Structure 1
Amino acid sequence: MKPELSLQLLDTHAGGDVSRIVTGGIDPLPGRTVREQMAYLRDDADGVRRLLLAEPYGIPEMSVDLLVPATDPRAAAGYIIMEVMGYPIYSGSNTICTATAVLDAGWVPKREGRQRFMLESPAGLVQIEAVVRDGVVEAVTCGGLPSYIHTHRAHIEVPDLGRVTYSVAYSGGFYALVDAAELGFDLTLDEERALARTAHAIVEAIQAEQGFSHYTLGDVGPLPFLHFMGPEERVAEGYVRSRSATYVHPGVICRSTTGTGTSARLALMNHEGRIRPGDRLETVSLRNTGFIGQFSSETRAGGYRVVNNTITGRAYVLARSEIVVNCDDPLVECDGLHHILSSRNST
């Protein structure tokens, strides 16, 4: 009998964005840090990402998070983020989902009330605060990456759109930030396809014109993301709400507003002097889900005003499952995959 290859999964979503957490079935990866293990997956074992984000197992709108043992003793677990565009070093929605998964799967024992622990992402350690009531994870707050504005209110000519005003933030990836109303959008669900087409055109124009470099990370690739900003509504003192939509890949508008998109907005508000430490921004998606970003403090680095922040959201467990990886299936590509899959003999 051929050995049966399988993966153990826990499917979750935060704000509508599905994160498929791989809890078992992958052999230990080489690398002294989670960042090095991510690089190994990217360069030598990309088949895991391709398998779980393509037919017949998944769709490009999903994300995949591989749980790995932490290499830093202060962290309870490590995780590697995989998306259709590649391997982001950080993601707020994926972190919220992963934190919920490690609690649900018992990697971190649940305790009623508030509990804190750390996860190790490819970007480094992430502080997690979870709220558990009656055994259910009702909220997760995670540290957002230090975020800053690289470019403020630049202009670019975009085919079929004309002159577009945009800013560029770094918040775990480079984001173009644009005013939705200036482009004729109300940020309603029926605009989703048009938003994706518009964002793709703007991102392509920006990529063709220039690249962006992080002050410590250097070249992190071409600008991949765009965040549409709706009008800001003052809900209470120090609390603002805004409809939002985040583009991440041709044809793909995230179901949620994304944690990194929310961090990028906080950086812009700080750059423009419209927010103070302790203030919060709630971003609301096309599907009326939301994340809350809180501006913690500002530091100076690389000549930029860098915003330290947190993101709060909730993840829901959708399914616990085991999938069988059948390399004889013509729809399944096992290249770059089977050398890291744990195997067990069929019975």
Structure 2
Amino acid sequence: MSQELTLQLIDTHAGGDVSRIVVGGIEPLPGATVRDQMHYLRDDADGLRRLLLEEPYGIPEMSVDLLVPATDPAAEVGYIIMEVMGYPIYSGSNTICTATAVLESGLVPKQEGRQRFKLESPAGLVQIEALVEDGVVETITCGGLPSYIDTYRASIHVPHLGEVTYSIAYSGGFYALVEAAELGFDLTRDEERDLAHCAHQIVEAIQAERGFSHYTLGDVGPLPFLHFMGPIEQVADHFYRSRSTTYVHPGVICRSTTGTGTSARLALMHHEGRIQPGDRLETVSLRETGFIGEFTGMRQEGPHTVVENTITGKSYVLARSDIVVNCDDPMVRCDGLHHILGAAQAASG
């Protein structure tokens, strides 16, 4: 007998990055915090991530965000981020999409003008400020993770590329930051495939040479991301703009500039003495979409100067749907999924 299951989704995108928000069909997960629930999903129920990011339902360029009850009473809703490379503790574009879905689904009622509320991510509480005009969520501003420079302008030999100069920032994950022009790129859409190939070579070389440790989190795994930086232009007082693009996985360049990539760039600009608190940077993607990062403050954490920041962007709702999951379909993998399905579905399956 066919085992037919359903999941309720709101598909969104911010800056071109598609985030599938799972709003129903999954049982509450064990764990005292959203971070604990993320660990459970990663270690014992990874089937949900694979199901929605692999054929026939998804592609690696997408992300998935599972809404869960908040464990912190200060938050309205919790969410767990799933991407092709695993389970990042934070993501700007995913947070912008999740906050929009929370408002559009009515989990947090919309209020005209500016409204504030908190979400609980695996990284902790996130302050959200939404601008609602005529019932439409026009922008979301979310707190970026405190960011800092770990390594400044180091050099590494990369086969077929030669000597490559890079910096390393932490902004929710470790980022290699490279000047696009030094590698022969103008950051145009026709370069996307070559950018992904180039970034993969650099990331593999850095991973083979060294690892990175966060000053409080410790080992967070090998370097996953690379951010190509274009020239910076000042377009107004305290406002800058730069083309950029982010590599996240072999063959995958993000459609958006990424929120954490923008936070990493703010940390580098501050390290170089190019911005002050209150300054803003708009990063512009290969698809001409953008996020605006604002440098809001700084503090000293041991040897690191940590940059506090916010990220502003707009998310669009693409679809509200029920995904029908037929476990008899040879293209579908239901392993690692049955035990987290809603009780009624699990019983019927």
TM-score using structure 2 length: 0.98
Which amino acid letter does the alignment assign opposite residue 246 of structure 2? T
CA distance in 2, matches of 1:83, 1:329: 23
How many pairs were matched up?
346
Compare 336-345 and 32-41 and name the one that shifted more. 336-345
CA distance in 1, matches of 2:236, 2:26: 47
Q: Once the two structures are superposed, what CA deviation does each residue of 1:281-337 show, in whole Å capped at 9, x if it has no partner?
A: 000000000000000001000310100000000000000000111111111111111
In structure 2, the residue corresponding to 1:93 is in which secondary structure?
Answer: helix
CA distance in 2, matches of 1:300, 1:322: 47
Q: Once the two structures are superposed, what CA deviation does each residue of 1:16-59 show, in whole Å capped at 9, x if it has no partner?
A: 00000000000010000000000000000000000000001000
1:231 alignment counterpart: 231
Asked if residue 258 in structure 1 is aligned to residue 258 in structure 2, the reply is yes
1:155 alignment counterpart: 155
CA distance in 1, matches of 2:28, 2:52: 18
1:171-186 superposed matches below 5 A: 171-186=171-186
CA distance in 2, matches of 1:110, 1:2: 40
Superposition deviation, residue 159 in structure 1: 0.5
What's the Cα RMSD here?
1.0
1:88 alignment counterpart: 88
Q: Once the two structures are superposed, what CA deviation does each residue of 1:240-289 show, in whole Å capped at 9, x if it has no partner?
A: 10000000000000000000000000000011111100000000000000
Superposition deviation, residue 2 in structure 1: 5.9
2:290 alignment counterpart: 290
2:133 alignment counterpart: 133
1:330 alignment counterpart: 330
Q: Once the two structures are superposed, what CA deviation does each residue of 1:132-156 show, in whole Å capped at 9, x if it has no partner?
A: 0111100000000000000000000
In structure 1, the residue corresponding to 2:186 is in which secondary structure?
Answer: coil
Which amino acid letter does the alignment assign opposite residue 177 of structure 2? L
TM-score using structure 1 length: 0.98
Structure 2 unpaired stretches of 5+? none
1:14 alignment counterpart: 14
| Identity rate, percent | 81
1:104 alignment counterpart: 104
CA distance in 1, matches of 2:312, 2:336: 35
In structure 2, the residue corresponding to 1:19 is in which secondary structure?
Answer: strand
Which amino acid letter does the alignment assign opposite residue 284 of structure 1? V
Asked if residue 53 in structure 1 is aligned to residue 53 in structure 2, the reply is yes
CA contact (8 A) 2:3 2:327 kept: no
In structure 2, the residue corresponding to 1:88 is in which secondary structure?
Answer: coil
Query: Which portions of structure 1, spanning 4 or more consecutive aligned residues, are displaced by more than 6 angstroms?
Result: none
Superposition deviation, residue 183 in structure 1: 0.3
